[in-house]
Amino acid sequence: MESVNLEGGENPKVHITSVGGDLRLTGRGGTSVEAQAGPRGALSAREVGDGIEIACRSACLVFLPPGALVTADSVGGDVRVTGMSGDLAIGTIGGDLVLRRAGKVTLTRVGGDAVLSRVAGGLSAEWIGGDAVLQQVDGQVRLRSLGGDLVMEGDGRDVEVTAGGDARLRLTPVPGGRCVAHAGGDLACRLPDEASARLVLKAGGDLDIGAKGVTGRSGEVVTLEMGTAEALIELTSGGDLKVSGAGKWAGADVDLSDQIRSQVEAEMEAALAQVEASLEAIEGGPIGIDTDRLSRDIRRATDRAQRRAVRARVRVESSGRGEGWRDGLPRGEAFENASPAAKADASEQERLTVLRMLEQGTISVDEAEKLLQALEPGA
């Protein structure tokens, strides 16, 4: 493994000109910038002007102060960002993007999927080829072109998004907020029952309004006024459009989702470490690598994490909060120590919850099938 360590200060300017493989950016304490790559990565890291410039032909791992200001011109593979608070701007990403915590994020082109959470300074993305998941994005959100499906959760304070596929929104409108969303396919939007917003709705297919409020119609446009209509939400879909109330939302959902993501990341990091260790062995000598076995290990690790996430999600929907016994059914650690009969009752309750989620439009038919499969004994 080749490594270069440079002193950068608390808020260094880091310019990554090109990375041929995957790029990982990880914030950590201190004032140094450390770049790592395999022995054949042709890693280059040097001071240029008032900043640091990095380039690498292969995959590259960069540790840097959380407040670093990072720009990247081109990344051939995936990009993963964790633990950052400074601004990030990336030109071209050939693969997927997974980002957990950063300041302002500016993206030009992402070839695959994008998952972004805890973005403190707003998001601007010109083009994302796959699906996108946006959570806890503070500030302005501009997603100009998304090839796949969109899942977004937030306050809709200043949002303009366009998705070529389906869109699922979960919004908590704030006074003066404006959210404009276009979906080429179906669009579903969940709002708190106590929301104060004016919704302007236009659907190419069926329109289903399950939220409480006063409705009106003018041609193809339907309006829905909830409360004193302090926020504006404009929704347009090429397919069906559904607006539903969701009651008061428990803050525990966010904490649990963070735990689930951490579990998934831990599993994937362990599997990827196996791959990297084997690749290092190849560089050191004529040692073979069973790529099929490594692929199976990665799939198994991912499947285990996904199954735990599925069960956790359904249990939150079933019980509302926390661990222990809820509604006469065991949860969490209590579930593991419960009798077989109690476990069977809990599993049946979870299956019923999935069906209710499907009926309410919270999940799609495909998602319901996956949830039910994951809840089967031995899954």
For the chain, the average pLDDT equals: 78
Could you give phi then psi for residue 156, rounded to 5 degrees? 60, 30
The pLDDT value recorded for residue 190 is: 93
Measured distance CA(331)–CA(337) in Å, rounded: 10
Q: What CA–CA distance (Å, rounded) separates 216 from 265?
A: 46
Cβ contacts of residue 36 below 8 Å, gap of 6+? 1, 2, 3, 43, 60, 61, 62, 63
pLDDT computed for residue 211 by the predictor:
87
Residues 182, 163: Cα–Cα separation, whole Å = 6
pLDDT given at position 254: 38
322-344, pLDDT tens digit by residue? 444 333 333 444 444 545 554 45
Calpha distance 277→270 (Å, rounded): 11
Angular region, 361: left φ>0, alpha ψ -120 to 50, beta rest: left
pLDDT band at 86 (very low <50, low <70, confident <90, very high): very high
Residues near 293 by beta carbon (within 8 Å), at least 6 away in sequence: none
Which amino acid, residue 369?
E
The domain ranges of the chain are 1-137, 149-249, 252-374
Section 29-53 average pLDDT: 87
Residue 93 pLDDT greater than 60, yes or no: yes
In terms of average pLDDT, the best of 27-36, 116-125, 334-343, 361-370 is 116-125
120-137: average pLDDT: 95
- Tens digit of each residue's pLDDT (9 = 90 or more) over 226-284: 999 999 999 999 999 999 986 443 333 333 344 444 444 544 544 454 445 444 444 44
